[in-house]
Chain A
Amino acid sequence: MKIIRLLSITALILAAFSLSACTHGKKGAGGGPGASDSDYVNGTPLPERQEGVSFTGDNTDRKKFTPVYFAFDSYSIASGEHGKIDEVAAFLKGAPNTLIVGGFTDERGTPEYNRGLGERRAQAVREALIQAGADGSKIQTVSFGAEMPADPGSGESAWAKNRRAEFGVVR
């Protein structure tokens, strides 16, 4: 961290960072020294919301696809989870449906940070769907933080089920 104060090498670091910043969705990816000084825009802006439609609404099917699970305090998509994303991307390419990705955390963080982390997970999944060929203008996100746990228990087995992004398919 100290290194960011060294003005003499800031330019070098910024140059290095701008090259590494193209990796996506990894917590800390491209986050070398000086990253906070850089202009990092990796997200794809969200489309306008559809009126009368929401992740928790009756017209949204949250069971159609398996959730993507995350490691503790991470929004990086593990390699083993990519198959789920490819499946959803393939579905979206061939169907008229829109999608709402809901992001969730386990109970161990503070509430506002958890809402941000859940949103970051949903956005990471949305970005991966776009990378896999899905149309981003059909994909909305929402975070519930640590609310609405899949498993209300405490302990690693419950927490692992709760660190997730769910696919809400709008019928």
Chain B
Amino acid sequence: MKKIRAFCVFASCLVVSSSLVHGAETPTITISKSDKQALAIGTISGPDGAQVARILQNDLAMSGFFTLVPAASSGFVVNGTSTASSLAGNVTDRSGKAVLSKTFNGTPRGKVHAYADEIIETLTGSKGFASSKVAFVASHTGHKEIYLADADGTNVHQLTSDGTISVGPQLSPDGARLVYTGYKSGYADVYEIDLASGSRSRIIKFPGTNTGACYSPNGHELAVILSKDGNPELYTTSAGGGFPHRLTHTPGVESSPTWSPGGDEIIYSSDDHGGPQLYRISAGGGTGRVINTGHNYNTEPNWSPDGKKIAFTVRDGGSFTIAILDLGSGNVHTVASGEGPAWGADSRHLIFADGASLILLDAQTGQKTTLVSGLGKISEPTWSR
């Protein structure tokens, strides 16, 4: 029933099918929810109209919310007028009434992504990810360097060129900044890049290894793993790396902190009891409580923006698998082979690394798309929201 393509106008459409067999007592009524809306790209005028239409179609299809159909059969029609720096968008419903009318400014691709996100939010109520940024580590230069790209896998560019080891990138939720672990000094330090200006600062350089930095949802704090006190432990600091506050006191290895959407809790991995397990702790301190996943090796947790799910990497045998923990029920299921999952703004899509590919996964349908390849081994992807 999931696959039913009902050309309905609203997200929730009821498909009522009754099996009326001769002499049947009660008709069987199946109520199903079609999760895709029919949408058509209408007329996009302007010198780059054809390209705008292509980007828009890709963004809308990638969102998972729409079935792109010919205009004649559609409920909604997406139109636009594009100029060098702006895109006037107009979406009409079946009756021809405008449901969205707004002008978007930005780069040739940026204005289209902004329009796509506005369409998604208007028609589905869900936040889109077309305007977001992804970053990851790739190895093709012979060194691990950090790369940045649009969420559709285009606009790939190399952020670091130190020729040492640059790893563990984490984008700020708003996509304006990126922190990573860099070995430029010969030690493992946390660096921050302001993506608009390109300016870079070494913000955490305590003795030992400083790594795993991750922005809090409001961008004002970092969770980070520091070893300055004689063991890798979880700390929070201010966004600039100051005022470290120690949260854990274990003999084991803490790694990969991820914040709850409200910023009041942190989930991280710790091998305090054998193989690395997921733990949950108040961001203010206290005791880390283990989360039972049924797997022996659990690392790289990433908390969904809606707060309901944790994606993480499990190792079963010699290979890595992406798993999702539903925090409400405690259920865990594996979804794909790969490592380093990161949720998108819609809490529906994940990106992760699988060998030389950066993969986009629709966790609802299981559909996979390769976003980036050809840069050597890819690892540790991160996604702005």
Identify the interface centre among A29, A40, A53, A126: most chain B CB within 10 Å of its CB. A40
Select which of A21, A113, A140 is within 8 A of B208 by beta carbon: A140
A108, chain B: closest CB distance, angstroms? 7
Q: Which of A130-148 contact B (CB under 8 A)?
A: 140-145, 147-148
Q: Which of these binds chain B: A42-50, A63-71, A80-88, A89-97?
A: A42-50
Identify the interface centre among B164, B187, B274: most chain A CB within 10 Å of its CB. B187
Contacts of A28 on B, CB cut-off 8 Å? Answer: 273-274
B313 within 8 Å of A by Cβ?
yes
Prevailing SS type, chain B contact patch: loop
- Whether B212 pairs with A115 at a CB distance below 8 angstroms is yes
B355 within 8 Å of A by Cβ?
no
Given A36-B272, A115-B181, A123-B227, does the pair A110, B299 have CB atoms closer than 8 Å? yes
A57 within 8 Å of B by Cβ?
yes
Select which of A36, A38, A112, A148 is within 8 A of B299 by beta carbon: A112
The contact string, 1 if C-beta is below 8 Å from chain B, for chain A 10-54, is: 000000000001000001111100011111111111111100011
Select which of A47, A112, A113, A141 is within 8 A of B227 by beta carbon: A141
B339 within 8 Å of A by Cβ?
yes
Contacts of B137 on A, CB cut-off 8 Å? Answer: 111
- Whether A36 pairs with B230 at a CB distance below 8 angstroms is no
Q: How far is the CA of A59 from the CA of B323 in the complex (A)?
A: 45
B44 within 8 Å of A by Cβ?
no
Q: Which of these binds chain A: B85-93, B119-127, B150-158, B246-254?
A: B246-254
Contacts of A41 on B, CB cut-off 8 Å? Answer: 229-230, 249
19 examples of A-B residue contacts, CB within 8 angstroms? A1-B273, A21-B251, A28-B274, A35-B251, A35-B272, A36-B279, A43-B227, A73-B271, A103-B209, A109-B299, A111-B380, A112-B225, A116-B253, A116-B254, A117-B271, A120-B252, A123-B231, A141-B227, A143-B188
